[in-house]
Structure 1
Amino acid sequence: MLEELSVRNLGPIRDAQIAPAPGFTAITGETGAGKSMLLSAIRLISGGAASGSRVSAGAGEAWAQGVFCVPGDSDLSGTANAVGTLSPAGKAVQYAEEAGVTPEDGELFLSRVVPASGRSRAVLGGKTVPRSVLESVAGELITVHGQSEQLRIASAAKQREFLDMAAGDDAQLAAYRHAWDELTAMDERLAKLRSQEASARQQADYLRESIARIDQVDPQPGEDAELKERRDRIENAAAISQGVSSALAVLDASQMSEGSDAASAVDLVNRAAQALHGIQVGGVFAEQASRLESIAADLADVVFALVQELDGEGSVEDLDRLNGRIHELNELMRRWGPELSDVIAWRDKAVFEVEDLDASPEKVAQLESEREQLYQRAVHAAEALHEVRVQAAGDLGVHVSEELGSLAMGGASLRIRVAEHDGGDSPTGSLGPYGGDDIEFLFTPFPGSPELPMGKSASGGELSRLMLALELVAAEQRGSAEGMTFIFDEVDAGVGGKAAVELGHRLARLAESAQVIVVTHLPQVASWADKQFVVAKTQQTDGGMTETIVTEVTGEARTGEIARMLSGNATETSLEHARELLAESTL
């Protein structure tokens, strides 16, 4: 509910503040006085477009602020209906909190600063926010029925939202949305899997070819290091042979040529050991003799090892074979390495990956079966939602048509068509995010006229009255519109006499369950209001500038304003008529 609206430097309004009634508030004044500026202020705090041309002459910026009464943290849960869906006021609080703003003392401040040049600034609860945030929050708190706003009802989405709101089908819509979300999630999963299926086949082919290539080479752990060592030996065979031969010639010449009588190092060391043993004293000599025997044994082992190495060097043919093998291993390591152990590990892992990839067709078939079950569940939920909508559409059309007869639109009627959506080749058929229905509001302005889409077949005044009838019937069908603020502009265009009284009566009825603010020039409408504000021009003495002021009228002042609206000025006759009208305008 709008508790307070403040405006500064907006058009002809230098400074104004109004506190609308919780029920019915009328805003009146002579044509051209500036009533539209109050609506402009409301549009600004609702995130509407801003223009520096609206700033008052001589002012640097315009400012508008609305203070709304909203549920606090302790009351928020109470704003949810039976299926847990938040009320509009509850949603507004949720949007505000998502933007980092928490209501204080059950109040939410929405304001807008519009400079004469430059970009406007949107403020929520004292915090600068994107304009879209104001639009989201205000969209749950205020519904403006003016010439531009009413065109929105021409959209299929807005008509569906209105019908669902009037039908009170939250439970059915929530059930369908859950089924739809599961279905679309499965479709996304399948689409991803199918798109991957072709690449999975390519990946599997690549893995198989790679595994076959590695298996063909059949690398063994550590083989590359061993082969490189053998290659080094072959490449250095001459130097190795010369060095080993020289060493053997010194250590044991008999290993180099048969029949050589040169004493070997082993023999010499053994002779030295025997000489020490021959001393027969023992002690240090026996100890050193034992050491020499150990050295001789070690020398014999060295000789044996060198002889083996001298006989084991490979040929040129062996070198070619080794280089070929090393090249094969290097190719494997270049593609799947960097080490040979990495190649072997990659091959072992790839074997398991191929098995997983080969199983994807079966997985797709399984998910397709699950998807069919989810689709049938969504179809059943859509059918249940469709039944509720059809019933509500019929009731809403009948009752709105009845209301139109009392609003100077006799013979006019509204029919709400709920038809199955043509899904074409869509995989979800007729189903969409909000069910399987195409919803269209069809208006017949007079008998014999063809049904035409709402918004394209009515004048501004007719559309305002049609929206009033819709809001009134919807409020009665859903039981309450508590916390909502409805603003009507041009609702009284082309209305007079008894129809004007009926119009005021119906606005007062709507105000029993919601806050209603009406800009009107009809006294028969204004007389039903709980509060009345007059917008008037005033001539300033300093400089002769004309400004617009907004004043609440009560008592005799209000009677005088109603009299002015009746006859143009306050005469005894018009004053008496005004008193009678005010006395009669009660529910």
Structure 2
Amino acid sequence: MLEELDIRNLGPIREATITPAAGMTAITGETGAGKSMLLSALNLISGGPADAGRVSAGASEAWAQGIFAVSDHSTAATIAREAGVEPEDGELFLSRTVRAAGRSRAVLGGKSLPKSVLVAVAGELITIHGQAEQLKIASPSRQRDFLDRAAGDDAELDAYREAWRALAAMDERLARLRSQESSARQRADYLRESVDHINEVDPHPGEDEELKAKRDRIENAAEIAEGVSRALASLDSSQLEYDSSSENAGASDLLLQAAQALRGIRASGDFAELADRLESLNAELQDVVFALSGHLDEDFGDADLDTLNARIHELGELTRRWGPTLADVVAWRDKAAFEIEDLDASPEKLAELEAEREQLYRAAVAAADALSAVRADSAARLAARVTAELESLAMAGASLEIRVTPRATSGTTGGGKREAIEERALDQNGGDDIAFLFTPYEGSPQLPMGKSASGGELSRLMLALELSAADMHAGADGEREKKRESTSGSFGDAATSDMTFIFDEVDAGVGGKTAAELGRRLARLARTSQVIVVTHLAQVASWADAQFVVTKIPPDADDDAVGVVTTVNEVRDDARVHEVARMLSGSESEASLDHARELLASSTL
């Protein structure tokens, strides 16, 4: 939801701040006052073209910023985090600067980013309906996405995509096997020889390090024996008489003598405690003596250094080729064994995989049929709702048809001894072709949506679509639980609590009772999503929760260098009554003011 829109030096708007209502906001003003600049600002922060010609005269750059409230787990917040921007207190700041020299800069949350990131984030937050959106509306993929969101078929779509991914992976594997060339066969031979060689050596992770340590001990056996003997002689003479001519007692004997001397003292003091500590030290020393004695008895058996070195060299060859460690060598061997299976395109292996592929295809078709059934049912209900809405929007005789057509077959599959068969053309979105066909008036040919409506008709058609989709998701048919967070959005967008809809030209060519119905429907949509409408009709503006007036101020007679300046101000209470009166009759007479008050009072759902 858009919380604030700030504009600086954009066209005739030198400075403006708009804080739209959470529901419906109307932007009004006389023709030519500069209402289009507000749409230009929204287009800018949505990643639209940066036109240096829109920079105010005398200014070096134009700037626009939108502050949006987003839910923590929304798609917009996820995209922002992936770009390294964390929403701050549940808000995202999107801004765009356009220099008079022609360059622009996109900023998200204070961080300069590629414009594409701004486009992705804004695409989840803003939907602009107007004549410029016709090309987007004509896109079959956006029409399909809209129908899916209106249908609420997430479960069916997820189930299908899971089945399709498994099928696609198998098709890729089979294609790789069938298209093997000599290089693939050579690799298979290399892998086999390598695996056989590793198996012949039969390495064990860490074996080379153990052997190197053993070799080190063998090569230094004499030095180890001498050092250990010296240590033992110094610690405990009863274990080893290193020097038979020496009459010195070992450290253990000396500790025991010291302890006995202390225990012989009859006077009071801590002598007994100290004696205990000396005996404890002697016990620890005896553990060291035992460990050292083990090294004297170490037997390397018939270990031969030449044999040991040969094994270490053999293992080193493996780590040099497939290492750096023996654990890596073993892992490479195991992985190579699986790759050999894929490279061995034997008839038996292909037949096994083709049978598995057939099962995956049947599962994907079943999931596609389930998805198609939900789409077809929802398409009929959505089209009927839209057609009924169009009747109340001054488009009598207009109708919408949504066709869900099974896609033509993709040709034949099969290979080897299998008989070629025709298959459904499936992709990640199912096996259907979706087409929105619009008839603008009775007797008119039915044409693809986006190619058969004027700007005003198109905006009203989109309003009817958004309303109908919102009603379907709110459970108006009694078929689905109310899920406001997944209410359908425009083509490519979901109308969640984060979504802001912008309607331009929606009131073109309408008036009177139809204008009031148009306002009522905009207000209905604003109950589930934020709506901003640019309008010149009082019957539409009166339904808004907030109204902003765009006013053109002529240049000062004493200083015409600045030129025309446009201001944007919110009108409330009496000021709003006067603005609605102006919109009704162009004057602010008592009669028009009374009419304005009456209109505002009656414009409630």
Q: Same fold (TM over 0.5)?
A: yes
- Per-residue CA deviations over 1:548-574 (Å, capped at 9, x if unaligned) read 110000011101111111111211111
Aligned partner of residue 395 in structure 2, secondary structure: coil
Give the superposition deviation at 1:354.
13
User: Which residue in 1 is equivalent to 2:126?
Assistant: 142
Rate the CA distance shift 1:384–1:17 in 2: closer, same or farther, 3 A: same
Equivalent position to 1:122, from 85, 94, 106: 106
Do structure 1's residue 2 and structure 2's residue 10 form an aligned pair? no
Aligned partner of residue 418 in structure 1, secondary structure: strand
Give the superposition deviation at 1:539.
2.7
Do structure 1's residue 98 and structure 2's residue 98 form an aligned pair? no
User: Which residue in 1 is equivalent to 2:460?
Assistant: 465
Kept after mapping to 1: 8 A contact 2:436/2:448: yes
Do structure 1's residue 378 and structure 2's residue 374 form an aligned pair? no
Give the superposition deviation at 1:117.
1.1
Aligned partner of residue 466 in structure 1, secondary structure: helix
Rate the CA distance shift 1:56–1:423 in 2: closer, same or farther, 3 A: farther
2:521 is aligned with what amino acid?
R
- Per-residue CA deviations over 1:284-326 (Å, capped at 9, x if unaligned) read xxxxxxxxxxxxxxxxxxxxxxxxxxxxxxxxxxxxxxxxxxx
User: Which residue in 2 is equivalent to 1:577?
Assistant: 595
User: Which residue in 2 is equivalent to 1:301?
Assistant: none
Kept after mapping to 2: 8 A contact 1:197/1:360: no
Kept after mapping to 2: 8 A contact 1:143/1:487: yes
1:552 is aligned with what amino acid?
E
Based on CA coordinates, which of the two structures has the bigger radius of gyration? Answer: 1
1:359, 1:504 → 2: CA distance? Answer: 67
1:474 is aligned with what amino acid?
A
Equivalent position to 2:395, from 391, 401, 409: 409
Give the superposition deviation at 1:536.
0.8
Do structure 1's residue 561 and structure 2's residue 588 form an aligned pair? no
Q: How does 1:381-396 map to 2 (within 5 A)?
A: 381-396=367-382
Aligned partner of residue 579 in structure 1, secondary structure: helix
User: Which residue in 2 is equivalent to 1:30?
Assistant: 30
Percent identical pairs in the alignment equals 67
Root-mean-square deviation (Å): 2.5
1:516, 1:539 → 2: CA distance? Answer: 31
2:523, 2:505 → 1: CA distance? Answer: 16
Give the superposition deviation at 1:453.
0.8
- Per-residue CA deviations over 1:364-397 (Å, capped at 9, x if unaligned) read 3222222111111111110000000001000001
2:463 is aligned with what amino acid?
L
Kept after mapping to 1: 8 A contact 2:134/2:451: no
Aligned residue pair count = 433
User: Which residue in 1 is equivalent to 2:419?
Assistant: none
User: Which residue in 1 is equivalent to 2:498?
Assistant: 483
Kept after mapping to 1: 8 A contact 2:459/2:503: yes
Equivalent position to 2:431, from 430, 436, 442: 436
User: Which residue in 2 is equivalent to 1:161?
Assistant: 145
Rate the CA distance shift 1:151–1:571 in 2: closer, same or farther, 3 A: farther
2:591 is aligned with what amino acid?
T
Give the superposition deviation at 1:361.
3.8
1:51 is aligned with what amino acid?
D
Do structure 1's residue 523 and structure 2's residue 523 form an aligned pair? no
2:444 is aligned with what amino acid?
S
Give the superposition deviation at 1:430.
1.9
Give the superposition deviation at 1:484.
1.5
Give the superposition deviation at 1:414.
0.5
Kept after mapping to 1: 8 A contact 2:191/2:340: no
Rate the CA distance shift 1:426–1:577 in 2: closer, same or farther, 3 A: farther
Kept after mapping to 1: 8 A contact 2:581/2:592: yes
Kept after mapping to 2: 8 A contact 1:444/1:452: yes
1:466 is aligned with what amino acid?
L
User: Which residue in 1 is equivalent to 2:16?
Assistant: 16
Rate the CA distance shift 1:353–1:34 in 2: closer, same or farther, 3 A: closer
Q: How does 1:243-262 map to 2 (within 5 A)?
A: none
- Per-residue CA deviations over 1:481-505 (Å, capped at 9, x if unaligned) read 4321111000000001110000000
Kept after mapping to 1: 8 A contact 2:21/2:530: yes
- Per-residue CA deviations over 1:144-179 (Å, capped at 9, x if unaligned) read 101112431111011001100100001111111111
Rate the CA distance shift 1:147–1:354 in 2: closer, same or farther, 3 A: closer
Kept after mapping to 2: 8 A contact 1:172/1:384: yes
Do structure 1's residue 496 and structure 2's residue 511 form an aligned pair? yes
1:149, 1:205 → 2: CA distance? Answer: 58
- Gapped regions of structure 1 (runs ≥ 5): 77-89, 211-337, 343-348
- Per-residue CA deviations over 1:54-100 (Å, capped at 9, x if unaligned) read 1111111110000000123xxx3xxxxxxxxxxxxx11111000000
User: Which residue in 2 is equivalent to 1:364?
Assistant: 350
Aligned partner of residue 518 in structure 1, secondary structure: strand
Do structure 1's residue 194 and structure 2's residue 178 form an aligned pair? yes
1:586 is aligned with what amino acid?
T
TM-score normalised according to structure 2 size? 0.68
2:516, 2:381 → 1: CA distance? Answer: 25
Kept after mapping to 2: 8 A contact 1:382/1:435: yes
